[in-house]
Amino acid sequence: MTNIEHKLYIDTVIRRVETARLRVSGHHIVKIVAVSKYSTSDDISTLYSIGQRAFGENKVQDLKAKAVELDELPLEWHFIGNLQKNKINNLLDIDPTLFQALDSLDLALELQKKLEAKDMTLDCLMQINSAKEESKFGFMPQNAKESYMTIIEKCPNINLKGVMSIGAHSDDTKVIKDSFNTTYSIYKELPNATICSMGMSGDFEMAIECGSNMVRLGSIMFNK
């Protein structure tokens, strides 16, 4: 696609986000994070040139490579994948805007140690396994609030900003919707939480209608 074609294409995505958010309220603002994990630095530059600023990656080495290559551009980097403890320092070297996948207490405690040693803080979202799927990372819904409070108490260098969740892996829209509603109801109970990150290319409109204010769009943003 040419830049113009890509812009027209992205406009249709933005219009869909806009329509969904207005169904909630004119005051309900939704941020789009473009997930670039299947895309190149060139693809990211193209999206940047038509106005996109926030990008997400799920592998530390890919994030690092792209952040270095695109160092000149004022991009916002989000880390959205499972973080292995031995990669924490590599992630912190990039100083991402938001770590969206804080998925265990163990990881939080280890992250706290590394942050303290570097005299840094990091904005994070707690990942919720709202559909209770074996294959997914994250806190189980029944433990989420208690664990959130524990992290606030024990990890002063972690700034918890809210929650992230991946919709249920199902063909049944009711099951997917239930998973979003579960995440949203936890989000509403958390102190000072302002970000509810849910919704991907296949389900973002439903996620927004369930209260999401941050969508992570990969394939649909890059037309892959």
Q: Which is nearer to ligand PLP, 25 or 135 (CB)?
A: 135
- 165 — alpha (psi -120 to 50), left (phi > 0) or beta? beta
Q: Shortest approach of ligand PLP to residue 200 CB, angstroms?
A: 4
Over the window 196 to 215, marking each residue x when it contacts ligand PLP by CB under 6 A and - when it does not, the resulting string is ----xxx-------------
Q: How many angstroms separate the CA atoms of 192 and 159, rounded?
A: 10
Number of residues that bind ligand PLP (CB under 6 A): 13
Amino acid (one-letter) located at 8: L
**Residue in 13, 35, 190, 196 binding ligand PLP, rule: CB under 6 A:** 35
Residue 133 exposure: Cα atoms within 13 Å on the Cβ side:
17
**Residue in 166, 168, 208, 214 binding ligand PLP, rule: CB under 6 A:** 166
Question: Candidates 42-50, 60-68, 117-125, 216-224 — which segment interacts with ligand PLP by CB under 6 A?
Answer: 216-224
Asked if 31 contacts 18 with a C-beta cutoff of 8 angstroms, the reply is no
Give which of 40, 34, 32 is closest to 221, Cα–Cα.
34
The sign of the CA dihedral 12, 17, 19, 22 is: negative
Q: Which two tokens stand for residue 87?
A: 């990669």
Q: Shortest approach of ligand PLP to residue 30 CB, angstroms?
A: 14
- 80 touches ligand PLP (CB under 6 A): yes
- 216 touches ligand PLP (CB under 6 A): yes
The binding site for ligand PLP (CB under 6 A) comprises 35, 37, 58, 80, 166, 200-202, 216-220
